[in-house]
Amino acid sequence: MARRRRSPWPGLLLAVVLLVLSLGLEASNPNGTAIRGNLVKLGGNARSFRGRGRGSSRLLKIQKQINAMNKQPVKTIRSPDGDLIDCVLLRNQPAFDHPKLKHHQLQEEPMIWPNNLAKETSTEQDVVSIRVTQMWHQCGKQCPRGTVPIRRTTIDDILRAGSVRRYGRKFHKPPNPSRSNSSGAAASFQASSLMAMPEAMDSNGHEHAIAYTTGQFYGAQASLNVWRPDIDVPNEFSLSQIWLLGGSFADDLNSIEAGWQVSPELYGDSNPRLFTYWTSDSYQATGCYNLLCSGFIQTGSDIAIGASISPVSSYDGPQYDIRILVWKDPRTGNWWMRLGDRTLVGYWPAEIFSHLTDYASMVEFGGEVVNTQPDGSHTATQMGSGRFPSRGFAEASYFRNIGVVDSDNELQSHPVLQTLAEHPNCYGIVKAGSSDWGQYFYYGGPGSNPTCR
């Protein structure tokens, strides 16, 4: 049977659509040339898109998403790592697209800070607590006053995610309450609360090494050193963060998250990047990383959420750590984020939550990786530094000076912590205490090794 010749018209139609889109963007967006380049490059792959059942409708959907996410900048800064940082007017940022924030009263500064915010010190040699620097700072340029720096989303970013729906989001399944904790004892679980079940019990290919505490909390703080862990396959990630949780894992989990992560799929490289995340329905339909959906309100002009952190720690060399504080302003109910001693990043408004309008019933600190079991065996994606906790300072990753904010708005420096590592032969955790580091722990590991398969 003779092969039916494919008509050239679908390809020509797609080319026309791409041209119209790119010309329109260039006319309406001062950065249209860069986006147009992405469209032209994508047009060159039109045949492969048709072959996978995709076409101009998908391109239009992607471009609509990008147009909604990338707000008109007053200035653009090109970072040495290739990122474009757009300086967007404070009131024009994505947060205010949220239907619950249409009439939100912008809070430029917190009204009430936690008590006992003492400046941290360390007697360890080669610990450098940095006022967070990012690669785009190396350009010597800043965003003007009244604007916030936002990492621009590109078509490549969304294509790596595989779909518009997946881009910038986690997809966790509810945890299995029958699983055991790291000591082998069965962990109890109540569907209506988090008092007995840490987030790490999620078994959807996510593995953790964490310390956690339960109760009623209104904030958390820790210093964590920054590394560049190796990622085995592009759709895996490695992160280190603080979680503040409320609700149940069934369908109404509220979560506030902040830390650093390496995610080639999300960012297109292997640089450690500052990130935030939130959800109000157990990662189902609400929430996202950074500013990739409406929700988090950025107020500071110094830090771009999602941008690369530099410098990073090295084996037997300087240890660069960042201090993250998240707390609830008792007067407004908004949850603020601060880096170091003085850099306010912004806040999660009370309106986007349900349970976290009151308090967090669990706080977690530690690392997480995705294990897709490439080639049928455990991933070699590293957690933290890629070394086990037993290697100690200058080799292992750490969280130090861990604290929580109590109902009296006091920062408590010695919370009662439990630890959990689902697969300690792959990624472990060891906690300790000292006069200058307070509550701390080392954590992490290499993933795949002779005892982790």
Report the catalytic residues.
Answer: 257, 368
* Contact status, residue 84 vs residue 151, Cβ threshold 8 Å: yes
Neighbours of 108 (CB within 10 A): 10
Cis peptide before 311 (omega within 30 of 0): yes
Q: At what angle do helices 32-43 and 9-28 cross, to 10 degrees?
A: 170
Q: At what angle do helices 32-43 and 56-69 cross, to 10 degrees?
A: 160
Question: Residues 406-412: contacts with CB within 8 Å, 24+ apart?
Answer: 406/216, 406/217, 406/218, 407/216, 407/218, 407/359, 408/115, 409/112, 409/114, 409/115, 409/218, 409/330, 410/114, 410/115, 410/116, 411/114, 411/115, 411/116, 411/117, 411/219, 411/221, 412/116
What is the residue whose two structure tokens read 């609830």? 328
Paired with 207 in beta bridges are 369
Chain mean position to CA 173: 18
* Nearest-angstrom CA–CA distance, 180 and 185: 6
Q: Is 390 exposed, middle or buried (0-12, 13-18, 19+ CB in 10 A)?
A: exposed
The C-alpha atoms of residue 179 and residue 187 are separated, in whole angstroms, by: 7
Cβ-Cβ contacts under 8 Å for 107 (sequence gap 6 or more):
297, 299, 329, 332, 334, 347
Q: Can you list the alpha helix ranges (DSSP code H) found in 53-182?
A: 56-69, 155-161
Inter-residue contact 201 to 421 (CB < 8 Å): no
HSE (CB half, 13 Å, CA atoms) of 423? 24
Please tell me the distance from the alpha carbon of residue 328 to that of residue 337, in angstroms, as a whole number: 9
Other Cβ atoms within 10 Å of 4 Cβ, number: 6
The gap from C-alpha 275 to its chain's centroid, in whole angstroms, comes to: 3
Listed residue (451, 288, 281, 262) closest to 369, CA to CA: 262
Rounded CA separation 312/318 (Å): 8
